[in-house]
Structure 1
Amino acid sequence: MTNTTDRKETINQSDIPKEQFNRSIGLLSNFALGFTYLSPLTAVYSLFALAVTLAGPPAVWWILIVACGQLLVALVFGEVASQYPITGGLYPWARRLWGKKYAWIAAWIYLWALVVTITSIAEYTSTFVGSLFHFDASPGNMLITSMVLLLMMMAINMSGTKNLARVARIGFWCEIVSVIALGLYLLIFHRSQPFSVLFDTMGIFAKDGSYATAFMSAALMGLFMFFGFEACGNVAEEVKNPSKKIPLAMILSIVFGAISAIISVLGYLLSSPDLVNIVNGNTADPIPAILNDALGETGAQIFIVIAIVAMLSCILSLQAALSRLIFSFSRDNMLPGSAWMAKISKNSVPDNAMVISCLLPLLVCVWVYFQPDNLSRITAFAVIGIYISFQMVVLAALRQRLSGWKPAGEWSIGGWGMLVNILALAYGICGIWLLAQPAEGSDFIDRWTVLVGLAVVVGSGLIYMVIARPFGRSHIATEETLAFTQEQKSEQG
């Protein structure tokens, strides 16, 4: 009988592709990649006003709640990534934990969620660029700016993984300056509210007369903020010592993201001299007003430049994550044109997959140009799509644990694995439920936009799966991998 070591070697060799990356990403760069994708600055700036008008200052507690929940998910991902450090992240993980069809749907949802997320960040960044260069935020200007930004980030991505890592590190320090340093400055030198205001609902109640309902409606600020850490695993084959470094980079992304976001939001809340007007929705865009008051016009402009660099780094990280997912899909012959998209350039970058990773968001940007009101709708879909794909991996891991699987990577949480896995799944289901709640609107699309978008994506994925049967084209030995798990279980038990 083949011993466990030989069996593992066979499986690992079957997973090694002809096209291979260079391992040039260290722990700091891998962490920076996940952190800049998570981008606390983007989430805070985009959703601060909405969250505060929905639930008042206590909305800040959603940052800690979601950070704790996503940390559970990151621990599960860490064990899976340590055993299967393969480019593509969620797709190869789901495939090895459950199977081809299951992985196809999980990755299909994740793919389109990433496309929409890139579009959303590019559009938000365009508003900053417009503010910096003083041009109108018309649909035409936003479209042109978004296209230029996406093409610029694609060019940097295609220049090589080392440049990706360098820009990610620059973006990391811009995030630190724009959220932590600025937040501390506001708290120390411009605080005008007591800390007790964080427990003051300021008279806000939901239509049903309950503050609890109002507080739950503000969950989006936290839920939108804490994904992106999985990007650390999307580039697994480019990371040095990935089995140990990727799990740590994921955890660091969550922890530092929570710290920076809390400091940033506290800075804006407690330095606002007119917080009541912000809560009542009378100040449409409160952060620029707070910054102008605290920093002056010149200081606010400097902040905008730093914010743009941080957001561009976020787009760069998102493009890298999406291109590696498409490459991983194509390497398993799962998409039309797979042979073309599964090639790696001399710069050790999947250039063709990168082109598609830029082209798809560009097309969505054109759609937003004709339907500008759809930006908020597609952003909402992106969040729930990513959470569902996350939880499909968490569920697959729990299914394997119940069958006796014990993670065999170099990084593990040991006997806590089962409890953490169950809690991560429970948290994820609650998060999905919150995201799926109908929005207040006058028609069906406005109220159920998230679920309608999700149904379209899942439905199209299922139709393609049934007609094209992409899951049947690959020769990756999923069953053999799981058989090794059972053999490992027998020897350990």
Structure 2
Amino acid sequence: MNFIGGVRSYYFLGLLAGGPAAVWSSYFITMVCMFITALVLAEICSALPLSGSIYIWAAESAGPKYARFFGFLVAWWSITSWMTFSAGNCQTTANYIVSLFAVYDINFPGGTGQDNVKWRALIWAMSEGLLVLSIAVNYLPPRFYSAVFKFSIAILILDFLLCLIWLPIAAHNTYGFRSLKDVFTMTYNGNGAPAGWNWILSFLFSAGTVNGFDASGHIAEETKHANVTAGRAIISSVIATGVLGLATAILFLFCTPDLDTVFALDAPQPFVQIYALALGKGPSIFMTVIAVIGLIMNTSVCIVASSRLIYAVARDGVLPLSWWIGKINKDGQPQNAVTVMFIFGAILLCSILPSEVAFTSLVSAGSVPTIASYGIIALLRLTMTPHTFKSSHFYLGKFARPIYFISVVWNALVVAAMISPFYFPVNAQSFNFACVIFGTVTIFAVLSWWFTPPEKWLRQEQIELALHSAEARPDTATRIFVTEVASKKES
């Protein structure tokens, strides 16, 4: 999970929605509440370590009677979320590159504001190119994946260390640090929202960074000792992202110029200009290149996880063209699912052309279905199956109900914030189309559930067998489920 890239990319959304006090406080709250949510997911992941696992977790959490409905719902939500996130990450990366125009005072026809359609067309074209590059990594033979993952981690560590050491020294020698009072108590309303809701909207920054930790579950069938390893990865990724992300956010608050200077910056990614103010123009290019490489690798790794989710859902016959999407190549890789991600992402990026707020909309649309899935699983565990999966390596025991309840309330609040307009008053240009994407996908999910025969996907006996097997041994449940799917394909 790219904590440094996430904090830096969405940092200014937090400053607009509540100011410095909201940035650190909302991140701390998010860190604690997402850790609680991770415990919910780790518990059921340990019992059901399956590829495309999150929709299976939802189905089994609902119990046999309602399993198919919630399985369809979360399957469609998760696919949309991961594909949208990949597209949004490409626009984030493009914003870094084009921000160098502002650093070097390069004049662009019509200006570099989001109200200039030519400027948006440039960002769109670069975003599409970056999507092609990120997708291309996923066509590599699987033996290269380990090197890709290790290189990604190395870039993130280098990025973090440079920000931890070089940026504070440079900021101290140029415009100076912000005071403790400014960092921990200053508030700001830059989006016109009502005062209380203005602060709540800062969760778009923090929750947009600390989510996606279900990814390790999507490759569980390719993971050794998945009933322990996958669940542990869910928890450790939240702890690492939360702690290091909070430290990064506070570091940036001290190293950012005063708010008047910050909001006078006119680049799509103002951090590029802050690097130039602190480090100088030349070094700012180096830091921007590091950030861009990190985001490209982050997108590629996310596609690895999300393509497995799409493959698993198609393997079970839910999606249109499932017979093609659910195929694997000679190396056992779901390359057709990767191709579907490219097509969907390329289409979604076209929203940059007509919309001035496509960035915040894509951030929201990429997070809302995932966070809604976390919340619905916790709700189902609280109300439908609170006493199951006792064989889980991460069984919550007597703490289960309070943990489920906190997770439900927290994720519901975040979903409400993310589908809300970010800028007020609301008009056609500032409308947040995340709610439209989320609503449309939900309708497709319900229609799929209604028209797909029960014997075609998640048969009743299959649901009950996996549920009973998970109570005994999680690895047995995995084998049974995969064998059931394979035998269905053969027949």
Give the TM-score category using the shorter length.
0.7 to 0.9
CA distance in 2, matches of 1:425, 1:437: 19
1:109 to 59, 73, 77: 77
Matched with 1:481 is 466
Matched with 2:11 is 48
Equivalent residues of 2:17, 2:202 under 8 A apart? yes
How large is the RMSD of aligned CA atoms in angstroms?
A: 2.9
Matched with 2:45 is 81
CA distance in 2, matches of 1:209, 1:339: 50
Equivalent residues of 2:391, 2:471 under 8 A apart? no
How far does residue 382 in structure 1 lie from its aligned partner after superposition?
Answer: 2.4
Matched with 1:419 is 402
Matched with 2:265 is 283
Matched with 2:390 is 407
CA distance in 2, matches of 1:323, 1:302: 32
Matched with 1:120 is 88
Equivalent residues of 1:97, 1:482 under 8 A apart? no
CA distance in 2, matches of 1:109, 1:307: 29
How far does residue 142 in structure 1 lie from its aligned partner after superposition?
Answer: 3.0
2:163 to 169, 182, 189: 182
Matched with 2:126 is 145
Closer/same/farther in 2, CA of residues 156 and 84 from structure 1, 3 Å limit:
same
Moved more, 441-450 or 122-131: 441-450
Aligned length: 447
How far does residue 170 in structure 1 lie from its aligned partner after superposition?
Answer: 1.7
How far does residue 125 in structure 1 lie from its aligned partner after superposition?
Answer: 1.0
Letter in 1 for 2:184: F
Equivalent residues of 1:79, 1:247 under 8 A apart? yes
Unaligned 5+ runs, structure 2: 113-118, 474-491
Q: Deviations over 1:270-290 (max 9, x none)?
A: 123434433xx3334542232
Letter in 2 for 1:104: F
Whether 1:193 and 2:178 are equivalent positions in the alignment is yes
How far does residue 350 in structure 1 lie from its aligned partner after superposition?
Answer: 0.7
1:96 to 56, 60, 63: 60
Closer/same/farther in 2, CA of residues 298 and 398 from structure 1, 3 Å limit:
same
Letter in 1 for 2:41: F
How far does residue 352 in structure 1 lie from its aligned partner after superposition?
Answer: 1.1
Closer/same/farther in 2, CA of residues 377 and 80 from structure 1, 3 Å limit:
same
Equivalent residues of 1:82, 1:246 under 8 A apart? yes
CA distance in 2, matches of 1:396, 1:466: 20
How far does residue 344 in structure 1 lie from its aligned partner after superposition?
Answer: 2.0
Letter in 2 for 1:419: P
Letter in 1 for 2:343: L
Matched with 2:116 is none
1:396 to 374, 377, 380: 380
Equivalent residues of 1:342, 1:352 under 8 A apart? yes
Q: Deviations over 1:444-492 (max 9, x none)?
A: 784564333322221232233323457744557112223456789xxxx
SS at match of 1:190: helix
- TM-score computed with the length of structure 2 as normaliser: 0.82
CA distance in 2, matches of 1:366, 1:177: 33
Equivalent residues of 1:268, 1:290 under 8 A apart? no
Closer/same/farther in 2, CA of residues 468 and 204 from structure 1, 3 Å limit:
closer
Closer/same/farther in 2, CA of residues 330 and 206 from structure 1, 3 Å limit:
closer
CA distance in 2, matches of 1:128, 1:165: 27
Equivalent residues of 1:72, 1:424 under 8 A apart? yes
Closer/same/farther in 2, CA of residues 471 and 434 from structure 1, 3 Å limit:
farther
Equivalent residues of 1:183, 1:263 under 8 A apart? no
Moved more, 216-225 or 144-153: 144-153
Identity rate, percent:
19
CA distance in 2, matches of 1:448, 1:48: 19
Equivalent residues of 2:49, 2:227 under 8 A apart? yes
Equivalent residues of 1:80, 1:407 under 8 A apart? no
How far does residue 372 in structure 1 lie from its aligned partner after superposition?
Answer: 5.5
CA distance in 1, matches of 2:76, 2:46: 23
Closer/same/farther in 2, CA of residues 471 and 391 from structure 1, 3 Å limit:
farther
Closer/same/farther in 2, CA of residues 407 and 186 from structure 1, 3 Å limit:
farther
Closer/same/farther in 2, CA of residues 470 and 144 from structure 1, 3 Å limit:
farther
How far does residue 89 in structure 1 lie from its aligned partner after superposition?
Answer: 2.4
Letter in 2 for 1:358: F
Matched with 1:221 is 205
1:268 to 252, 269, 292: 252
Matched with 1:235 is 219
- TM-score computed with the length of structure 1 as normaliser: 0.82
Equivalent residues of 2:3, 2:209 under 8 A apart? yes
Equivalent residues of 1:49, 1:284 under 8 A apart? no
Closer/same/farther in 2, CA of residues 56 and 323 from structure 1, 3 Å limit:
same
CA distance in 1, matches of 2:194, 2:340: 48
CA distance in 1, matches of 2:305, 2:59: 18
Whether 1:67 and 2:31 are equivalent positions in the alignment is yes
Moved more, 251-260 or 462-471: 462-471
Q: Deviations over 1:30-58 (max 9, x none)?
A: xxxxx2xxx22333233222221331211
CA distance in 1, matches of 2:60, 2:439: 26
State how 1:461-476 maps to structure 2 within 5 Å.
461-469=445-453, 472-475=456-459
Letter in 1 for 2:437: G
Equivalent residues of 1:387, 1:431 under 8 A apart? yes
Unaligned 5+ runs, structure 1: 1-34, 489-493
Matched with 2:476 is none
CA distance in 1, matches of 2:373, 2:229: 23
Matched with 2:115 is none
CA distance in 2, matches of 1:261, 1:269: 12
